[in-house]
Structure 1
């Protein structure tokens, strides 16, 4: 029977993480720091550098896919921090087309909301003839808020249903739209289970964002140094409390569905090496 209970997955993720905790944390930290580097150029005139860096680092998260798969398939001793954290860059040519398509799918809602806001602004200007400015402003703000909220939720949903794309690349050898479609089909019907797994880490995600913001604003007089300190501190908190364990959880989630598809239901779903994983003691 396919068990996708997020408590069970989190317990198993903690178990696997404990088998090579240091290497997985280091790998996740390095990837988080490098993928955050474009933040150094966000408030500067180097917008082109920011854009090029984001393109170059698009495949960087694939290192977590490779590392987490090693952790859940009995290859935890083969996890190499330097090699695995740089997998996305080393295999850039191979991985880029697929990750580029994924990014298009994820950012398409943002493009649509910009178009919708632009259209609504035009409509609002036309409506000024028949509405008071106060009513117009209130109505416009409400519309904007609803649109932005709807797009944010939809973008999050897209990100979730494409979470398996990297794992499909590694286990099935599929690329581009084939990998994206397979990710969608595999997670279809199980989206809420993965969302619950993600939301269970929400406090740590918020904490890392607060730490980053506090350091950048509190030490703003240091200029770029404050941004670097914020990136490093936030990356470590993410890796230690969230991303390493969560990514292993996603790998477990994926492997349970993959094994189920292959008719291999006797996996580590409720029992890890012959021992029941207890949620309270994990």
Structure 2
């Protein structure tokens, strides 16, 4: 797969449609920022915040819709309605987005349990030695050795967790596109995406890596905006909207376009094999 060619073509498509794509990204960003108005730490407000966040779970489907339109020569169909597509059709796309969340949640829980177990093993033996440093016995030495081993295992688990999360996210990449184009949803979309992305995770990772600079820069500026406006109430909402506008008018149009184009490129083999 020629990643450079895909990126170049995506940049050209995004440049031609930047006004429409930026507006759609801004709408999605503003909608996604709304929960920050309710994130006040208050018990009832926090519950409302979680409910609103759940209702906005599929808001990013608008990116998928807009991206597919511009890479399939249907840019004339772009409209501001694409920005609210995921919200309007929340119930339709809930199974797919909920499946993605559940997969990450289960993996996170497993690793948290393993990391906590290693942490107790590591620091428990260390605390035992510190509490009685003048009585070094064979048992204490054995405990110390286990502590060192647990500490090493702790770091290994942490990096393994990061690697697996990134790998799983890459393998789940096509789920929302498959749902959009073929109506494959939930765990069926998960299975199909894993099959589709086999052998292409490194390519997608490299593509995402080219946007890291923009993402870090926008995150840094967003942090500064949050520091000025705060992160709660009206101030938090205003800061989130400004952050959304920053992303919408810089890298996001090219980002969603290259993702849609990448998906279409790797989906060709599904047509050839008659799987879809």
- Regarding TM over 0.5, the answer is yes
- Pair 1:225–1:137, CA change in 2 (3 A): farther
Deviation string 1:105-125 (CA, Å, 9 cap, x unpaired) is 123332223222332344346
Distance between the aligned counterparts of 2:148 and 2:23, measured in 1?
A: 49
Deviation string 1:95-137 (CA, Å, 9 cap, x unpaired) is 1011101111123332223222332344346425653379899
What corresponds to 1:79 in structure 2?
Answer: 78
Aligned partner of residue 241 in structure 1, secondary structure: coil
Aligned partner of residue 59 in structure 2, secondary structure: coil
Long gaps (5+) in structure 2: 134-143
**Aligned-residue offset at 1:199:** 0.5
- Pair 1:138–1:211, CA change in 2 (3 A): farther
Aligned length: 259
The answer to whether the Cα contact below 8 Å between 1:5 and 1:193 also exists between their aligned partners in 2 is no
Deviation string 1:157-193 (CA, Å, 9 cap, x unpaired) is 2212111111101222211111111111111101000
What corresponds to 1:63 in structure 2?
Answer: 62
**Aligned-residue offset at 1:143:** 5.5
Distance between the aligned counterparts of 2:124 and 2:107, measured in 1?
A: 26
Counterpart pick for 1:98 among 96, 99, 103: 96
What corresponds to 1:52 in structure 2?
Answer: 51
TM-score for the superposition, normalised by structure 1: 0.81
Counterpart pick for 1:10 among 7, 10, 13: 7
- Pair 1:55–1:219, CA change in 2 (3 A): closer
Counterpart pick for 1:174 among 181, 184, 198: 184
What corresponds to 1:271 in structure 2?
Answer: none
Aligned partner of residue 36 in structure 1, secondary structure: helix
- RMSD of Structure 2 on Structure 1 (CA): 2.7
- Matched ranges for 1:190-269 at <5 A: 190-220=200-230, 224-263=233-272
Aligned partner of residue 59 in structure 1, secondary structure: coil
The answer to whether the Cα contact below 8 Å between 1:20 and 1:77 also exists between their aligned partners in 2 is no
Distance between the aligned counterparts of 2:35 and 2:168, measured in 1?
A: 23
Deviation string 1:251-278 (CA, Å, 9 cap, x unpaired) is 11111122243249xxxxxxxxxxxxxx
The answer to whether the Cα contact below 8 Å between 2:119 and 2:154 also exists between their aligned partners in 1 is no
Distance between the aligned counterparts of 1:78 and 1:14, measured in 2?
A: 19
What corresponds to 2:140 in structure 1?
Answer: none
Distance between the aligned counterparts of 2:40 and 2:114, measured in 1?
A: 26
The structure with more radius of gyration: 2
**Aligned-residue offset at 1:146:** 4.5
